[in-house]
Amino acid sequence: MNDQSQIAAAAAKDPENFALANCLRVLAIDAVNAANSGHPGAPMGMADAATVLFRKHLKFDASAPDWPDRDRFILSNGHASMLLYGLLHLTGYEDMTIDQIRNFRQWGAITAGHPEWGHAKGIETTTGPLGQGLATAVGMALAERALAAEFPGLVDHRTWVMLGDGCLQEGIGQEAISLAGHLGLGKLNVLYDDNNITIDGPTSVSFSEDVPARLAACGWHVISCDGHDAKALDAAMAEAKAETSRPSLIAMKTTIGFGSPNRAGTAKAHGAPLGEEEAVLAKAALGWTEAPFDIPADLAASWHEIGARGTKERQAWEAKLKASERGATFNARIAGDFPDNYADTVTAARKALFETPQKVATRKASQLALEKLAAAVPAMIGGSADLTGSNLTRVDAVDNQFTAEQPGRYIGYGVREFGMAAAMNGLALHGGFKPYGGTFLVFSDYARNAIRLSALMGLGVTYVMTHDSIGLGEDGPTHQPIEHLASLRAIPNLYVFRPADAVETLEAWDIALRSSKTPSLMALSRQNVPQLREAGSENLTERGGYVIREFGMSRDVTLLATGTEVSLAIEAAEALNVQGYGVAVVSMPCWELFDAQSEVYREEVLGSAPRIAIEAALPFGWTRYVDREADVIGMPGFGASAPAERLYAEFGITAEAIKVHAKALVAK
């Protein structure tokens, strides 16, 4: 708990900073009390550090929130959202009005319970799931370094992160820390709110490690200071900025709920309103006499001056950009524009496939597409979670490795699937890049929460997920994805592609690159598949589903399939047609795109005849297209360890099984 002497000591060290920080504290108290919901303790404890950062070190201009060369500020412990909203309001971000603060956590307000990217200017990423803000910030630091090398003189900014114990306890936090240290991201600066409190009580309940020592062991520059001493904080931030070869951690010893006489330093300050009585006591202890939500004019003016502190620097940068011979190229990159030759590149790649059909695994087809597209689109930056040789994500255009010594277009993420996915979100959010990264489809579970945030934020990130079924063979059920397609298809605003051949794979890549507001996931095969598509100029994959083969003058049955099973469906259809049946085969590379088509188109493709679905995965979800799960030829459970051909035979995913089922269904 706070005593008056601790508060007096903080006030004496820098009275101006203390008074400005109190504006943040009381806004957090008032907004959380008004909502009767929220987390006042962290904003109250971190207010001194946030004030020093915005007042003296952060490069920003509140009147130009999207200035490309601004510093990025990430509140990784997103439950402390009122700290960020208070900062944006006080510094003069136009959309963060006092009414938005008053309506914290209410319907229609941009002041959501956790910061959401796109809701308000100045929110650089969605945070809340702990650790992801830090990992996303690593992606932003990667983007800054890569873009600075490509556009020298136009890019020179930092990424600042505030986080708490929860971000460090989550596994993704360690993935991010390890990667950032290995790559020497010297413009990444982290402010650690070391307050010894979590929801369950003191951190000693579950957390006893030496955090500074852990980060030092990962190659970080580490500084420790009193989180309520403005001068010590100022010196620590200056030291962090001076270190350019290593990321910096500033471990700030703070008191959660600073100023609250009865809750400071306890778990009670974390996730519940102080209440009217304790709010009055806290404000009195801090020397605050204003009515709720009122900020004294002199302090409000000082905060607005802080918000305008970077205006001249921003204007000088804009003049430099205007004078630069690469200014137009830089603006196009930040805007996400495609090079003029992009469409011609896709057309030529399609033409080459039709002229020389490729019987390859779709992971190899993906590499063939990447060879052409990455050369044409400099914004593409790739990587893999230590599976480059299996994912086939590395091509000549991105063959320069990102290292601590120099940036490159290919990032070795190591065995850090979750960290990779979150870092790709950061690369996309920063601007200037179209990131993609690979792993096995079964490991999408490790990355899932970052994939979810990609979809929630609407980011053009591409996930390359290979070894998409029991077709990977001998590695067995631990590596054979069975439930993963259904699980991923359940995420809103995510394109899940399972292409049938090289043409569909190229088309899926084209869609993914052009989909700036929807992430894409490629489920790609290990085993070879024949090229099924015949010549044509339309991107049929963009339809999500289409009739790829039709046998007979009328339909007796429709076979729906994805990926490697489309060729099995065509084989079965040919055999059925010989026996007199009319059969249509529908390839469905992307359910989400198919469901977005008109009802007339969908009915035309699906037809009125009985339908069977074929996919080497759980049947779950297919009943939106077929009458019963019994009409899905798929996996009844987990796979097994054996060659792919044996597995398909043992689990009954064969052309013969399709033919038998179709005849029985038509005979009903």
Query: What residue numbers does the annotated binding site for substrate cover?
Result: 39, 270, 363, 390, 467, 475, 479, 526
Q: Which residues are annotated as a binding site for Mg(2+)?
A: 165, 195, 197
Strands 546-551 and 583-587 turn out to be antiparallel
Question: For residues 128 and 116, what is the distance between their CA atoms, to the nearest angstrom?
Answer: 9
Question: For residues 228 and 17, what is the distance between their CA atoms, to the nearest angstrom?
Answer: 10
**What's the Cα-to-Cα distance from 112 to each of 124, 166, 409, 654, rounded to whole Å?**
14, 20, 35, 51
> 108 CB contacts (<8 Å, ≥6 apart)?
none
Question: For residues 372 and 362, what is the distance between their CA atoms, to the nearest angstrom?
Answer: 16
DSSP states of 208-273: ---HHHHHHHTT-EEEEEETT-HHHHHHHHHHHHH--SS-EEEEEE--TTTT-TTTTTSGGGTSS-
**Contact call for residues 388 and 88 (beta carbons, < 8 A):** no
Q: Which residues are annotated as a binding site for thiamine diphosphate?
A: 79, 128-130, 166, 195, 270, 443
* DSSP, res 113: S
Q: Where are the beta strands (DSSP E) in 390-484?
A: 410-412, 434-440, 462-466
Give the H or E element holding residue 632. strand 632-633
Q: Which residues are annotated as a binding site?
A: 39, 79, 128-130, 165-166, 195, 197, 270, 363, 390, 443, 467, 475, 479, 526
Find how far residue 273's CA is from the centre of its chain.
Answer: 31
Question: For residues 239 and 278, what is the distance between their CA atoms, to the nearest angstrom?
Answer: 38
If phi > 0 it is left, if psi is from -120 to 50 it is alpha, else beta; for residue 621 that is: left
Residue 417 catalytic?
Answer: yes
Question: For residues 666 and 580, what is the distance between their CA atoms, to the nearest angstrom?
Answer: 12
Q: Which of 170, 278, 417, 507 is catalytic?
A: 417
Residues assigned a catalytic role: 417
